[in-house]
Chains A and B, each alone.
Chain A
Amino acid sequence: MTPAIEVRGARRTFRVKGAMFQPDKHVVAVDDVSFAVPVGGVLGVVGESGCGKSTLARLILGLLPPEAGEILVDGQRVLQMDRKARARLIQPVFQDPFASLNPLRRVRDIVGLPLAAQGGMSSAEMAKRVDEMLVRVGLTVEMGERQPAQLSGGQRQRVAIARALVLRPRIVVCDEPTSALDVSVQAQILNLLAELRRDLNLTYLFISHNLAVVEHVATEVAVMYLGRIVERAPTDTLFHAPEHPYTKALLASVLTPEPGLGVPDVGLGDSLPDPSNIPPGCRFHPRCPVAIERCASVAPATTPRNAGIVECHLVPTIAA
Chain B
Amino acid sequence: MTGETLLEVEGLRVEFGASVAAVRGASLSVARGQTHCLVGESGCGKSVSALAIMNLLARGGRRGADKLSFAGIDLRGMSDREMARLRGDRMAMIFQEPMTSLNPAYTVGSQMAEVLRRHRGTSRRDALDRAAELLGRVGITAPGMRLGQFPHQLSGGLRQRVMIAMALMCDPELLIADEPTTALDVTVQAQILRLLAGLQRDLGLAILLITHDLGVVARVAHRVSVMYAGEVVESAATADLFARPTHPYTRGLLECVPVPGKVKRDQPLGSIPGVVPKVSPGFTGCGFRDRCAHANEICAGDIPRHRTDGDHEYLCRLPRDWAHAA
Contacts and interface: CB of A to CB of B under 8 A. Distances in A.
Contact of B185 (A183, A209, A257, A264): A209
A184 B265 contact: no
A185 B275 CA distance: 8
A185 B253 CA distance: 10
A316 interface: no
A250 interface: yes
A152 to B, nearest CB: 5
Given A182-B41, A184-B252, A249-B187, A213 B213 contact: no
A217 B218 contact: no
A261 interface: yes
Contacts of B197: 262-263
B29 interface: no
Contact of B270 (A155, A187, A254): A187
A2 interface: no
A260 B242 CA distance: 10
Given A154-B275, A259-B219, A270-B141, A254 B186 contact: yes
A168 B100 CA distance: 41
Contacts of A239: 260-261
Nearest to A195: B268
Nearest to A268: B187
B185 A190 contact: no
Given A184-B253, A239-B261, A259 B215 contact: no
Contacts of B269: 187, 190-191, 216
B19 interface: no
A235 interface: yes
Contact of A259 (B188, B194, B242, B257): B242
B190 interface: yes
Contacts of A22: none
B212 A182 contact: yes
Interface string A248-282: 01101111111111111110101010000000000
A212 interface: yes
Interface residues of B, number: 53
A215 interface: yes
Contacts of A48: 185-188
Nearest to A216: B258
Interface in B195-233: 197, 212-221
B298 interface: no
A180 to B, nearest CB: 10
Given A211-B260, A250-B187, A255 B139 contact: no
Interface string A165-190: 00000000000000000111111101
A191 B268 contact: yes
Given A257-B217, A266-B190, A183 B260 contact: no
A266 B195 CA distance: 13
A49 interface: yes
Interface of A: 48-49, 152-155, 182-188, 190-191, 194-195, 198, 209-213, 215-217, 219, 235, 239, 249-250, 252-266, 268, 270, 272
A-B residue pairs, 9 tightest by C-beta: A255-B215, A187-B271, A187-B256, A182-B41, A184-B272, A216-B258, A187-B269, A48-B185, A191-B268
Interface of B: 41-42, 139-141, 155-158, 185-191, 193-194, 197, 212-221, 238-239, 241-242, 252-261, 263, 265-266, 268-273, 275
